[in-house]
Amino acid sequence: MPPQENKMTIGIAGIGGLGTMGIKIAKALGHRVVAISSTASKAESAKQKGADAFMLSTDGKSMSAENVKIALLLSTISAPYQLAHYMPLLKNTGTIVQLGLVTEPHQVNQMEMLGSRKKITTFFIGGIKATEELLELCSQKNILPDIQLVEAKEVDRCWQQLCTINKDGVRYVLDIAKSKQTKDFMPQL
Query: Is the domain of 151 the same as that of 135?
Result: no
Asked if residue 185 is part of any domain, the answer here is: no
> Could you give the CA distance from residue 12 to residue 72 in angstroms, rounded to a whole number?
9
Angle, CA 145 vertex, CA 144 and CA 151 arms, to 5°: 125
Q: How many distinct structural domains can be found in the chain?
A: 2
Query: Is the domain of 24 the same as that of 97?
Result: yes
pLDDT at 185: 67
pLDDT-derived band of residue 77, with 50, 70 and 90 as boundaries? very high
Query: Is the domain of 82 the same as that of 152?
Result: no
pLDDT at 1: 46
Query: Is the domain of 51 the same as that of 131?
Result: yes
Asked if residue 3 is part of any domain, the answer here is: no
pLDDT at 143: 96
Query: Is the domain of 120 the same as that of 164?
Result: no
pLDDT at 188: 54
Half-sphere exposure of 126 (CA within 13 A, CB side): 9
> Could you give the CA distance from residue 70 to residue 174 in angstroms, rounded to a whole number?
37
Query: Is the domain of 152 the same as that of 67?
Result: no
Under DSSP, is residue 127 helix (H, G, I), strand (E, B) or coil?
helix
pLDDT at 42: 92
Question: What pairing do the DSSP bridges indicate for beta strands 90-98 and 53-56?
Answer: unpaired
Rounded (10°) angle between helices 127-141 and 17-28 = 70
Q: What percent of the chain has pLDDT over 70?
A: 93
pTM of the model: 0.86
For residues 50-76, average pLDDT: 95
Residue 175, domain extent: 147-180
Query: Is the domain of 71 the same as that of 112?
Result: yes
Q: Is the pLDDT of residue 2 over 70?
A: no
